[in-house]
Amino acid sequence: QNAPTGGTPIQGTPTRGVGIHRTLTRRDLAAQALAAGVLTLPAAGARAAAGVTIAGPGGWFQDLFDGVVLAAFRKAHPGIGVFFYAAGSGFQTLSLMQEQRMLPYIDVALLEVGVAAQAAKEGLLDAITPDAMPVLKDLIPQAVPPQGSPPQATSTPQGAATSQAPPPQGAGPVLMVDTLALGYDPRRFTQPPRLWRNLWDPAIGNRLTLPTAPDPIALAMTSIAATLFGGRNPAESLEAALTALSALRPRVAVWDPVPNTYTAIAAGDAAIGPGWNARAQYQVRQTPGRYATVIPDDGSPALPVTINLIKGSTAPDAARTLIAWLLGPEAQALLTRTLFYAPVNPRADVPPAVLAKAGADPQTVSRRINIDWVTATAVRDKVTAAWRRHGLMRY
């Protein structure tokens, strides 16, 4: 939906700049998409001597991240060529990294924290430490992977989620944080829906849109339902959450909307549904009067997005320069002002109104619903099966 939360990516000779994969075996189903995606990669001759390729989501994210944030880096570091590769969702980027294990083409990857944990477990990442990259010492404690022992908390500044665990050891630091929001069609509501509980109010009507598991939005909605209706232990809470979500089933007009929930609401196919705040804010700007969004007052899950150095990168020094700059105050302010992700560097100069829109104001942060994304990502197949058993799917 919006990876950074809110998209997919040949065989060929693994020559840098010509073919980005070894011969595919298990991923033949993705071959056509990958073959299409490789055509957008810059040829070897097009890369500067200190060139860096960073992989992440495409679409709206690529337009703003490459066009605004990376453009500022290029201006600050004219000797380093930076190329953005739209690899798709975190899992699609992970698949790309697995295929390129022996000869990586990408140098830096943006991954949701649960996917980064899997990449670290597979040995696809090089660790980034505060000693080697001092800017990590400026970040909120929840953004820095443990280095043998958890980092010492010095403060809880803007953007910090006090209950959010840091990335696992071996993963990269958190670059930015997204928050689950509630999108709606302002033409159908006289007052904005302020609570997640409003979804269970029959007065909302029968025009809901809902992505299903394993989409991260569905995993986050499972956590919300467990918080609202849960039992005394995790097993009881999961069952209570699924039972509560099942009660919404007759009122869901659009399951797994294509291309996404934001467009479905703006187009009038649905009236209300969950989505990631950063992507939702973009939709508000694209379709004013047809789409609006709120972060409900009863709390929302946050989704950290990490920035990772690929093991075997052929430009590790330039890649580290890029990563350090993106974690610095200038880039952090751009990410919040332009893309509405919560910052992880408290030195970023962001007005309070923008922090609130990004879900990073103290009140919103204090109400965040904690999700262990590493565990949630690891068990997403089981959660998906549970959704299916409860009939939470498109028929």
* Predicted confidence (pLDDT) per residue in 240-261, tens digit: 999 999 999 999 999 999 999 9
pLDDT in tens, 79-101: 999 999 999 999 999 999 999 99
Same domain, 381 and 237: yes
Beta bridge partners of 336: none
How far is residue 129's CA from residue 124's CA, in Å, rounded to a whole number? 16
Quote the number of domains for the chain: 2
How far is residue 330's CA from residue 345's CA, in Å, rounded to a whole number? 10
Domain of 262: which CATH number? 3.40.190.10
Determine the pLDDT at residue 104: 96
Same domain, 253 and 359: no
DSSP-assigned letters across all residues of 47-65: S-TT-EEEEE--HHHHHHI
Residue 327 lies in a domain: yes
Omega before 259 within 30 of 0, i.e. cis: yes
Q: How far is CA 16 from CA 36, 38, 63, 381, in A?
A: 17, 12, 25, 34
Give the domain range for residue 341: 28-178+305-369
Determine the pLDDT at residue 163: 54
Same domain, 216 and 296: yes
Residue 378 lies in a domain: yes
3-state DSSP helix/strand/coil % of the chain, to nearest 5: 40, 15, 45
DSSP-assigned letters across all residues of 277-332: HHHHHHHHHHSTTT-EEE--TT--BEEEEEEEEETT-S-HHHHHHHHHHHHSHHHH
Same domain, 238 and 365: no
Longest alpha-carbon distance in the chain: 61
pLDDT in tens, 266-321: 999 999 999 999 999 999 999 999 999 999 999 999 999 999 999 999 999 999 99
pLDDT along the chain (395 residues), means of 10: 40 34 34 41 48 98 99 98 97 97 97 98 97 98 81 40 76 99 97 96 95 97 95 82 97 97 98 99 98 98 98 97 99 99 98 98 95 95 96 84
Beta strand 208-210 pairing with 252-255: parallel
194 touches 294 (CB < 8 A): yes
How far is residue 165's CA from residue 377's CA, in Å, rounded to a whole number? 14
b (16+ CB within 10 A) / e for 207-242: bbbbbbbbbbbbbbbbbbbbbbbbeeeeeebbbbbb
Same domain, 169 and 292: no
Same domain, 46 and 96: yes
Same domain, 48 and 105: yes
How far is residue 141's CA from residue 160's CA, in Å, rounded to a whole number? 8
b (16+ CB within 10 A) / e for 278-289: bbbbbbbeebee
Residue 87 lies in a domain: yes
Residue 21 lies in a domain: no
Residue 282 lies in a domain: yes
Residue 272 lies in a domain: yes
Closest residue by Cα to residue 311 from 38, 139, 50, 126? 126
How far is residue 181's CA from residue 58's CA, in Å, rounded to a whole number? 21
Residue 271 lies in a domain: yes
Residue 113 lies in a domain: yes
Same domain, 118 and 246: no
Number of neighbouring beta carbons within 10 Å of residue 40: 12
Same domain, 59 and 171: yes
363 touches 158 (CB < 8 A): no
How far is residue 210's CA from residue 112's CA, in Å, rounded to a whole number? 21
How far is residue 342's CA from residue 201's CA, in Å, rounded to a whole number? 30
Same domain, 261 and 324: no
Same domain, 158 and 203: no
Same domain, 232 and 276: yes
Beta strand 302-310 pairing with 108-112: antiparallel
Determine the pLDDT at residue 164: 77
